[in-house]
Amino acid sequence: MGSIIIPKKSAGSTKSARSRWFEHRHETLLPFPLFVRRVARWAALAFAVVVVSLAVGVCGYHYLDGLPWVDSLLNASMILGGMGPVDPLKTTAGKIFASVYALYSGLALIAVVGILLTPILHRVMHQFHMEYKE
């Protein structure tokens, strides 16, 4: 297998290159295989946010409004995806939960998109701001 090049640590940095999330502008661009690994880690984080959010929604609909598990999953998925609820809600607690969950879901959607785009946008910005030695 080919050798993997780890970016150089910048001279003025007090943190090691491993403890930071991204390389500094004085460091070389991360090799593509390591970049793919970074994107996969951030995608796993985004997936975890979606799974936890979906679990909270399913449990909330099931326990607060008394919906069956499959209907709870459907409602939580539709709200988390930005579509809206499917089943009419019967209880006041269920309606309050649905309201809060819908507001949370909008913010969670924005956060997940941000988490997914972070490593890609950082790489693009890093290419523009790298200091080249001539």
| Domain boundaries defined on the chain | 32-129
The total of other beta-carbon atoms located within 10 Å of residue 134's CB is 2
CATH no., domain 32-129 = 1.10.287.70
pLDDT > 90: percent of the chain: 60
Tell me the per-residue pLDDT of 60-89, one tens digit each, with 9 for 90 and over: 999 999 999 999 999 999 999 989 889 999
- More confident position, 20 or 11: 20
CA distances from 46 to 105, 110, 117, 125 (A): 13, 11, 10, 21
pTM of the model: 0.77
pLDDT band at 91 (very low <50, low <70, confident <90, very high): very high
Q: Please tell me the distance from the alpha carbon of residue 52 to that of residue 17, in angstroms, as a whole number.
A: 30
